[in-house]
């Protein structure tokens, strides 16, 4: 006698189909809930998300923000991070003209609701400025304007509500605020001949990261007053606020996950973070026989790191045959609904030790399948 246990690694598993945004677990779920639950923002906040980069530093043809991770482009994760924050009203995504259609398509596929797409300028600052101006447009420009504008990068998908809250509050109070991180490397000044001039004392400096926040008035005024050279060669919004509005930004240390996906290796790092978060829940469907429950419990124990949902169905098991081809057909159908289905066949044994070893093997295979989410292996009937 044999029966099947089927692992279903949540949603959003297949590389080339969209996940349902409504049930997609957020990367920070459970981390900042305690902090953010008590915190509300009682003034309007909107976001400008420059996404005009060409991705030349990853060495890939697709710009990083459009690279797909488990079926969803990076920028969609970033948008999602803002969309789930209740007090954020509007997200203006600024993209190169040639990517306007692609971006519109992403918004539709992943059902983003708070997003407006605006064409970018020739430089980062011109793009951000376009985004800020777009926030001030409308029939009643003054009334519709946000009090605070948060500026972020499309390629920093792991921003948490807690940090956004701190940035928004500090921006409202001080006029400007920005996330910082300690320097990983010493920073040195070079001579024009390529020699060391001097090195900076690492403790006195910080890396300026994103998000940054500004009152609408400060960022708007900074862009009104800044020079063409600032528009062309500047990179730092905090600098413009200081130089043209006399506003010294409040600096707030962010977590390491704030980093900017820059190089090819960062894509692997981002994917690992996304996978690690997704892997936290799984659903096990077993047959209705007596040992099925025992197996499910043993599994839950063995695969300790997962939040397992155990569904025991005696009459309505989705898999009846254990023939490889039957499972393969079922897997093909499931794939269309964004479910990666694998079969694990466990040969029952009355030998307690053998049974325990098999259960551990099921757990090991299940963990590996959930972690890797390989679409090449769906429909396989694996042996435990």
Q: Contacts from 229-238 at CB under 8 Å and sequence distance 24+?
A: 230/125, 231/121, 231/123, 231/125, 231/126, 231/129, 232/123, 232/125, 233/123, 234/125, 235/124, 235/125, 236/208, 237/125, 237/128, 237/151, 237/176, 237/178, 237/212, 238/176, 238/178, 238/208, 238/212
Beta bridge partner(s), residue 308: 282
Provide the minimum distance between the beta carbon of 149 and a copy of itself in the complex, in angstroms, as a whole number: 17
Which region, judged by CB under 8 A, interacts with a copy of itself, from 24-32, 46-54, 121-129, 180-188? 180-188
The correct pick among 27, 47, 249, 306 for binding a copy of itself (CB under 8 A) is 249
Beta bridge partner(s), residue 95: 119
Q: Which is nearer to a copy of itself, 305 or 325 (CB)?
A: 325
* Backbone φ/ψ region at 30: left (φ over 0), alpha (ψ -120 to 50), beta: left
Task: Please report whether residue 226 would count as binding a copy of itself according to CB under 8 A.
Answer: no
Q: Which is nearer to a copy of itself, 348 or 374 (CB)?
A: 374
The correct pick among 144, 217, 236, 307 for binding a copy of itself (CB under 8 A) is 236
Q: Which is nearer to a copy of itself, 10 or 254 (CB)?
A: 254
Task: Please report whether residue 20 would count as binding a copy of itself according to CB under 8 A.
Answer: no
Task: Please report whether residue 326 would count as binding a copy of itself according to CB under 8 A.
Answer: no
**Separation CA 4–CA 27 (nearest Å):** 31
What angle do helix axes 74-83 and 100-109 make, rounded to 10 degrees?
60
Task: Please report whether residue 322 would count as binding a copy of itself according to CB under 8 A.
Answer: no
The correct pick among 317, 328, 338, 348 for binding a copy of itself (CB under 8 A) is 328
Task: Please report whether residue 228 would count as binding a copy of itself according to CB under 8 A.
Answer: no
**221, 139, 108, 151: CA torsion to nearest 10:** 10
Which region, judged by CB under 8 A, interacts with a copy of itself, from 46-54, 67-75, 222-230, 359-367? 359-367
The site string for a copy of itself over 186-225 (x = CB under 8 A, - otherwise) reads xxxxxx--xxxxxxx-x-xxxxxx----------------
Task: Please report whether residue 168 would count as binding a copy of itself according to CB under 8 A.
Answer: no
Task: Please report whether residue 360 would count as binding a copy of itself according to CB under 8 A.
Answer: no
Contact 335, 268 (CB under 8 A): no
Contact 77, 274 (CB under 8 A): yes
**Residue 24 is encoded by which pair of tokens?**
């997609």
Instruction: By CB under 8 A, name the binding residues for a copy of itself.
Output: 57, 174, 176, 178, 180-181, 183-191, 194-200, 202, 204-209, 235-236, 238-239, 242, 248-252, 256-257, 259-260, 262-266, 268-273, 324-325, 328, 364-365, 367-368, 372, 374, 376-377, 379-383
């Amino acid at each position: 006698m044999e029966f099947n246990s089927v692992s279903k690694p949540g949603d959003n598993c297949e590389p080339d189909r969209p996940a349902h945004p409504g049930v997609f677990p957020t990367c920070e779920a459970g981390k900042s809930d305690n902090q953010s639950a008590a915190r509300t923002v009682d003034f309007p906040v909107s976001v400008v998300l420059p996404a005009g980069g060409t991705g030349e530093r990853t060495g890939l043809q697709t710009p990083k923000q459009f690279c797909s991770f488990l079926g969803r482009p990076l920028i969609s994760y970033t948008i999602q991070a803002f969309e789930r924050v209740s007090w954020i009203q509007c997200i203006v995504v600024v993209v190169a003209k040639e990517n306007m259609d692609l971006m519109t398509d992403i918004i539709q596929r992943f059902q983003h609701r708070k997003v407006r797409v605006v064409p970018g300028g020739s430089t980062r600052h011109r793009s951000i400025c376009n985004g800020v101006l777009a926030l001030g447009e409308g029939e009643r420009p003054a009334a519709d304007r946000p009090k605070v504008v948060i500026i972020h990068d499309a390629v920093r998908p792991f921003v948490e509500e807690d940090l956004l809250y701190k940035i928004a509050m500090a921006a409202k109070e001080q006029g400007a605020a920005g996330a910082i991180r300690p320097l990983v490397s010493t920073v040195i000044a070079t001579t024009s001949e390529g020699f060391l001039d001097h090195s900076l004392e690492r403790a006195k400096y910080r890396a300026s990261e994103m998000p940054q926040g500004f009152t609408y008035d400060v960022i708007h005024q900074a862009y009104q007053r800044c020079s063409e050279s600032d528009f062309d060669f500047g990179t730092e919004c905090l600098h413009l606020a200081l130089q043209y509005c006399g506003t010294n930004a409040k600096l707030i240390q962010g977590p390491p996950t704030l980093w900017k996906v820059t190089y090819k290796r960062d894509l692997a790092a981002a994917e690992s973070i996304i996978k690690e978060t997704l892997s936290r829940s799984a659903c096990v469907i077993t047959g209705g026989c007596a040992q099925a429950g025992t197996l499910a419990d043993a599994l839950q124990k063995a695969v300790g790191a997962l939040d397992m949902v155990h569904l025991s169905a005696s009459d309505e098991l989705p898999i009846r045959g254990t023939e490889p081809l039957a499972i393969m057909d079922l897997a093909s159908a499931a794939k269309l609904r964004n479910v990666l289905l694998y079969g694990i066949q466990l040969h029952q044994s009355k030998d307690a030790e053998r049974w325990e070893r098999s259960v551990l093997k099921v757990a090991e295979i299940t963990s590996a399948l959930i972690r890797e989410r390989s679409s090449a292996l769906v429909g396989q009937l694996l042996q435990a």
